[in-house]
Chain A
Amino acid sequence: MSQQEIDQLVDQDYKYGFVTDIESDTLPPGLNEDVIREISTRKCEPKWLLEWRLEAYAKWLEMTPPEWAHLDYPPINFQAISYFSAPKKQGDGPKSLDEVDPALIETYNKLGIPLEEQKMLAGVAVDAVFDSVSVVTTFKEKLHEAGVVFCPLSEAVHSHPELVRKFLGSVVPQNDNYYGALNSAVFSDGSFVYIPKGVRCPMELSTYFRINQQNTGQFERTLIVAEEGSYVSYLEGCTAPQRDENQLHAAVVELVAETDAEIKYSTVQNWFAGDDEGKGGIYNFVTKRGECRGDRAKISWTQLETGSAITWKYPSCVLKGADSVGEFYSVAVAGKKQQADTGTKMVHIGPRTRSTIISKGISTARGQNAYRGLVKVLPGAVDARNFTQCDSLLIGDQCGAHTFPYVEAQEPSAQLEHEATTSKVSDDQLFYLRTRGMSEEDALNMVVNGFCKEVFQKLPMEFAVEAEALLGITLEGAIG
């Protein structure tokens, strides 16, 4: 395959690059205590939360941005970013879909986000986040019957203050890391999910995030608590419009799984990746962590990362409960001039804890894709097990694939296994498929899909279909 061919094929327009034209209520750029007070006031937050934010801000000021990642980007000017943007409300906010700004609905339709009733048939409740404020939440009733709380975090602060106060920051503390601290200071909104003891959430919970406003950082914060013996599957999709400037996204997701609880968290991330020359695109610095607090708890992260100019993201599991299980399944694609440094951390604390890591990295065009993972086994995690497999696929000779697996083992009965391979798409495979009548592009698609199969199988059904389609679009033309 010649470089020209690759370029031609990789050349793929961002399909979600439009700007919604609605008035919004945005704070001027800049960050200081007053801005934080303003955010808190606008959201009518209780005093403790404002103090919590200010504490985080003070800690953030003491911290420096991490430099260890295999990423190359100019320093971010945090004073040039606006930290709050909400669509202007008409009255007291929409009571039904009819009341939602039609431009917004139009946006969701273009994204193919099914907000209407057929979605209920599909069993999905949607909490759509548009810039910083949740606009509409559907199917609350059905969830309410089951006792499940699923609402914007800003609402939960008022409706379930004791829960929010108990769990917020309990998994990712304010000063956990630079971007996590920033989020703690300025987080706008996000989802709050609470599954009571013994409840199996009756539907998949789904949220679409979207960054719209120019120069707006989005700092959503999600908190999911699964009480003893409960189960929830949470889906998150992300898309952002095309801009020339880089936009910052620094989110925090915290998961708490108590005894025998299970949380399945799936992400399809397709933020704008920038153009072929690396102009524009989202800087995606995300802290995601789950704690298996009780025995036999299970947390499973599945992600498809195709977007963003920069991805810095390590969904992690802290396995405290005995026999608890952590899983990480990831497909990360870096094309154009995208850079991804992503992976996971599995911290084994309880006895017989088990973790599985399957990571598939695909690099095309001038993309740089790095897997970075830590498996840490503390003394006392008797008979802990980990299996890690990270495979990288290179398509074209201008891209890069990197693997940085850290292991820290301090328990002799632990058994850890790590395997990694890096290869290009085999010419033999492509040739074989083409002799069977497939176009080169279809052949590539098939091979890459096969490469990702293990991970896609872990996604909820309808998400898997979307993931395959998205991968297809991302690769369209990537070959060869």
Chain B
Amino acid sequence: MSGFSEWLADVKDVCASEALAVGLPTKRVESWKYVPIRGLARTTWQPASPQTTEQFALTGGQFVNVPKVDGCAVSENTLTASEQTRLDRMSQAHGFGLTQAALENNRLVLTIQKTASVVLNLHHLANQASSAGFATLVLRVEAGGQLTLVEQFESTDIESANLSSLRCLVALSRDSSVTHVRFQAANATAHVFSNLDVECSENANYRLQTIEFGSKLARNDIYIALVGREASASVNGLAITSGTQYHDTHLAIDHVVGETNSEMTFRNMVDGKGEATFNGRVLICKDSQRSATEQSIANLLLSESARVNPKPELEIYADDVTASHGCTVGSLNKTELFYLKSRGLSEANARAFLQYAFAEKIVEKIEHRDIRELVETQLLGELKHGELIAELKESVDV
């Protein structure tokens, strides 16, 4: 396998040799069909080393400054049988999964104790040039526990390719809840890989808000299993893709038992020569009666060369369910543009308004105020002609 060959060859374990044998996924692998992996394969990747920081961070494949918070304990590094199975499933998904497993630098296991309420802020620091970091985070949320996990990517001026990969397992015990905010604004040369595997027990609720602006290439594999009655999950996602960026989210939700609910709303806004892929699959297993799922995907194409590949899938094996999905692709709405222009807004400002509105429908759902404002500010920075709205926000928001 080019790209990681030398490194993998040094690691003497089964996973590494399997990864070498299988190689990076090609376009023939259905779920990697659109991923431009050439850059990934061409770079000779090396292990990254951690940067110095005072924050709780993931840097060079290492977790540093793990916070000591009430209700949150650092557990031993041994995985339960079920966790191991889930991790193995992740690894076996494709050649890159095996690579991630083989090159893992660091693993952190955190337990959110019964009925505790914990907020964790994890900072992703960019790796150095041509360096790649692989880590795994395991979160166990005990019964009634509440966790807010905020992941932020620091943008730095690194000019050559770098890579960071985080595999994250989240187990929600009964009655627990997790709000997970992921704000990816990594530097323009970053390759960001995120694998997320979530399991929700009875009456547990998992909410994910994922906002993606940055990186050269980002690939998110998200898997959520609703394994207990009345478990629920909601995913709100936004990807803003421009230049020659590629953003890819593969999201799968399994309704393993009945009376479970899921909801996904995802928006892609693509400009320049950017390309965005979204694959959302919902599976309702046999006997998972009285389950409900709703998917909505909206895609905005802003330039001649922008590309988008949305695919909302439903796989349903139970009859007493309500399932629906909707997907749209288009450019800015002409009537809306006309309305704004008839009120005196210039073409450029009217376009910025509508782009902002498109993104804001996802961003406004972030409850965490500081993060929401941070995202909004950066969002306006991303937009051409976002200044007017930035000014308006500042002057009239109360």
In the bound complex, residues from chain A placing their C-beta under 8 Å from that of B395 are none
Chain A contact-residue range equals 35 or more
Residues from chain B with Cβ under 8 Å of A399 in the complex: 317, 319
Give the nearest-CB partner of A404 in chain B: B313
- Chain A binding surface SS class: strand
Chain A residues near B325 (CB-CB < 8 A): 403, 418-420
Query: Interface residues of B, CB < 8 Å — how many?
Result: 36
A177, CB-defined interface residue at 8 Å: no
Is B303's CB within 8 Å of the partner chain A?
yes
> For the complex, is B22 an interface residue (Cβ under 8 Å from A)?
no
- Tell me the smallest distance from the CB of B314 to a CB of chain A, in Å: 4
A360-396 interface code vs B (CB 8 A; 1 in, 0 out): 0000000000000000010100000000000010111
Contacts of A395 in B (CB 8 A): 319
User: Which residue of chain A lies nearest to B327 when distances are taken between CB atoms in the complex?
Assistant: A418
Q: Does B84 contact A (CB under 8 A)?
A: no
B314 touches A422 (CB 8 A): yes
Interface string of B29-53 (1 = CB under 8 A from A): 0100000000000000000000000
Chain A proximity mask over B349-376: 1 for CB below 8 Å, otherwise 0: 0000000000000000000000000000
| Chain B residues, Cβ within 8 Å of A398 | 286
Q: Are A406 and B311 in contact (CB under 8 A)?
A: yes
Tell me, yes or no, whether B6 is within 8 Å of chain A by CB.
no
Tell whether, in the assembled complex, residue B312 and residue A397 are in contact, meaning their CB atoms are under 8 Å apart. no
Kindly count the residue-residue contacts between A and B in the assembled complex, taking CB atoms under 8 Å apart. Answer: 116
Q: How far is the CB of B254 from chain A (nearest CB, A)?
A: 14
- Interface residue? B318 (CB, 8 A): yes
Question: Is B174 part of the binding interface, using a Cβ–Cβ cutoff of 8 Å?
Answer: no
Choice from B306, B311, B323, B324 contacting A407 with Cβ under 8 Å: B311
**Bound state CA distance, A443 and B309, in angstroms?**
41
B263-310 with Cβ < 8 A to chain A: 286-287, 289, 299, 301-310
Interface presence of A31 (CB below 8 A): no
What is the CA–CA distance of A423 and B328 in the complex, to the nearest angstrom? 22
Closest to B34 in A: A408
User: In whole angstroms, what is the CA distance A68 to B287 when docked?
Assistant: 25
Q: For chain B, residues 334 to 359, give those with C-beta under 8 angstroms from any C-beta of chain A.
A: none
Interface segment, A33-41, A304-312, A409-417? A409-417
Whether A422 and B316, one on each chain, are in contact in the complex, defined by CB atoms closer than 8 angstroms, is: yes
CB nearest neighbor in B for A70 = B315
Let me know if A392 and B308 touch, CB within 8 A: no
CB-based contact A412/B331 at 8 Å: yes
CB pair A403 B314 closer than 8 Å? yes
**A394-B286 Cα distance, complex, nearest whole Å:** 12
Nearest CB in chain A to that of B321: its residue = A422
Q: Are A397 and B289 in contact (CB under 8 A)?
A: yes
Given A407-B308, A417-B327, 14 further pairs, Cβ under 8 A: A401-B314, A401-B316, A403-B313, A407-B329, A408-B309, A410-B305, A414-B329, A415-B329, A416-B327, A416-B330, A419-B324, A423-B322, A423-B323, A424-B319
**Sample of 26 A–B contacts (CB below 8 Å):** A379-B304, A392-B316, A395-B319, A397-B287, A397-B289, A397-B320, A403-B312, A404-B313, A406-B311, A407-B329, A408-B307, A408-B308, A409-B307, A412-B301, A412-B302, A412-B331, A415-B329, A416-B327, A418-B326, A418-B327, A419-B324, A420-B314, A421-B323, A421-B324, A422-B321, A422-B322
- Interface pairs A-B: 5 shortest CB-CB: A394-B319, A412-B301, A418-B327, A416-B329, A422-B323
